[in-house]
Amino acid sequence: MDKAEILSQLQEIFRDTLDDQEVTLAYETTANDVEGWDSLTHIHLVVSIEKHFKLRFTAKEIQSWKNIGELVEGIISKK
């Protein structure tokens, strides 16, 4: 699975979780760029991402991500 495929799958997870089909993600996207991405939604997103990709992240890993690109790298490192 390459970065573009992961990004596409993440975009679908974000759209479903945020109930907004207009959400568009890029590697440099941050929580400030996405309407509705608050701390509670962040937890729901992480759980959905872990279920979808069948992996687990530590709290330290989750807190270290500064943008979607770093999340993609985190997923790749777990695969």
List domains and CATH numbers for the chain.
3-78 (1.10.1200.10)
* Model pLDDT, residue 9: 99
Nearby residues of 23 by Cβ (< 8 Å), 6 or more positions away: 11, 14, 15, 34
Q: What is the pLDDT of residue 38?
A: 95
The predicted structure's pLDDT at residue 53: 98
One digit per residue, the tens of pLDDT, for the chain of length 79 reads: 899 999 999 999 999 999 999 999 999 999 999 999 999 999 999 999 999 999 999 999 999 999 999 999 999 999 8
Give the contacts of 19 (CB within 8 A, at least 6 positions apart).
none
